[in-house]
Chain A
């Protein structure tokens, strides 16, 4: 192996040295020095490529898959029941359909939270003026002290603008969505296993609060209602 072949081999796969490669390296100081430089670069390259993986990635994939599989099973069951009990079982079919169907808004807010968990882990707080500016974008304002707020950004859920806040709750972080264009008449509960939540009517649209299981969400809602006013 000559110097040219050595360097070609080095740049093709520095981590897979052949016997010829090692022999040349032992006898050529210049190529040995180059090999050392490339191998240092290679180790650094590996470190750089190993970007941090989002927390809970595998769990989220399994969760999505489990939910999808459950839907498919529910759908199959509903069809089977429909075929067997066509006459006189419309009520049962309606019940099964009702069980299988998930409200779209809960899915949409859960998707936002689980897609990026970073806002739930931030330790720095958002300055109240910045929160005020964000709220003003949807016609709301802060009144009094709602701090600490760890995240306050405009969001878009189901094509409608809203504001996504993260507050400190009693057991952990609480996510709040203010959705002025998502009117609701009823109180809905969310239970994804990982997050519990409430969707309630607000002066404008609806408010969603999500927290860890056990978080007293009604108290978080009271804080939101007390400190956020609609213009």
Chain B
């Protein structure tokens, strides 16, 4: 086995699971998420020579996946608009506790422009600058979106628990 193949297979084993989770939250479908990860690694293999530093591999793979998603599947949508109709088919083996179900539902209802950086921050552990590079926006935009994402999630959850009555958050826009 040559060096590139060893390097490539190490990347697959290290990052395929987390990339799958990111892909799932991008597209909301298990099979499509797996296709997306598969295509990401196909493209990564072809471009492996351009990856000078393996420490950058993780962010590089996320960037490839995000671009592949945009290329293949993303349809133009008005920025920061609620997608009430968005439906994520429930994968098997999901956490069925009521808190988890409510939170998952709220997360699915977040506009993609908010959910995407939030997933990269919470699940990927990326900084605002790194997320900005993956998404092609400024770090300030990222931080604004994750702020609004958390606030909106909180509002959605409060709405679920109080049957639609929202509680204001002191001091927040």
Query: Is A12 a contact of B34 with CB atoms below 8 Å?
Result: no
- The answer for the CA separation of A218 and B12 in the assembled complex, in Å, is 36
User: Inside 8 A of B30's CB, which chain A residues have their CB?
Assistant: 54, 116
Place the interface of chain B in its size category. Answer: 35 or more
Is A47 in the interface zone, CB < 8 Å from B? yes
Is A58 in the interface zone, CB < 8 Å from B? yes
Place the interface of chain A in its size category. Answer: 35 or more
Is B37 in the interface zone, CB < 8 Å from A? yes
Query: Is A13 a contact of B146 with CB atoms below 8 Å?
Result: yes
Query: Is B121 a contact of A116 with CB atoms below 8 Å?
Result: no
Query: Is B92 a contact of A118 with CB atoms below 8 Å?
Result: yes
Is B73 in the interface zone, CB < 8 Å from A? no
Query: Is A54 a contact of B122 with CB atoms below 8 Å?
Result: no
- The answer for the CA separation of A48 and B147 in the assembled complex, in Å, is 19
Is B123 in the interface zone, CB < 8 Å from A? yes
Q: Which of B16, B123, B143 contacts A12 (CB 8 A)?
A: B143
Query: Is A45 a contact of B107 with CB atoms below 8 Å?
Result: yes
CB distance from A14 to the nearest CB of B (A): 8
Query: Is B20 a contact of A50 with CB atoms below 8 Å?
Result: no
- The answer for the CA separation of A51 and B25 in the assembled complex, in Å, is 9
Query: Is B146 a contact of A44 with CB atoms below 8 Å?
Result: no
CB distance from A119 to the nearest CB of B (A): 11
Interface stretch among A59-67, A81-89, A92-100, A209-217? Answer: A59-67
User: Inside 8 A of A76's CB, which chain B residues have their CB?
Assistant: none
Query: Is B153 a contact of A52 with CB atoms below 8 Å?
Result: no
User: Inside 8 A of B169's CB, which chain A residues have their CB?
Assistant: 7
Query: Is A48 a contact of B107 with CB atoms below 8 Å?
Result: yes
- The answer for the CA separation of A42 and B170 in the assembled complex, in Å, is 20
Scan residues 1-36 of chain A and give those whose CB is less than 8 A from a CB of chain B: 3-4, 7-8, 11-14, 30
CB distance from B39 to the nearest CB of A (A): 10
Contact with A along B137-173 (1 / 0, CB 8 A): 0000001001100110110010000000000011110
CB distance from A179 to the nearest CB of B (A): 21
User: Inside 8 A of B171's CB, which chain A residues have their CB?
Assistant: 3-4, 7
Contact with B along A145-186 (1 / 0, CB 8 A): 000000000000000000000000000000000000000000
Q: Which of A7, A13, A44 contacts B99 (CB 8 A)?
A: A44
Scan residues 1-51 of chain B and give those whose CB is less than 8 A from a CB of chain A: 5, 8-9, 12-13, 16-17, 20-21, 24-25, 30-31, 34, 37-38, 41-42, 45
User: Inside 8 A of A47's CB, which chain B residues have their CB?
Assistant: 95, 100
CB distance from B145 to the nearest CB of A (A): 10
User: Inside 8 A of B143's CB, which chain A residues have their CB?
Assistant: 12-13
Query: Other CB < 8 Å A-B pairs besides A41-B103, A41-B157, 5 of them?
Result: A4-B172, A7-B171, A48-B104, A48-B107, A49-B21
Residues of A in contact with B (beta carbons under 8 Å apart) = 3-4, 7-8, 11-14, 30, 38, 41-42, 44-54, 57-58, 60-62, 64-65, 68-69, 115-116, 118
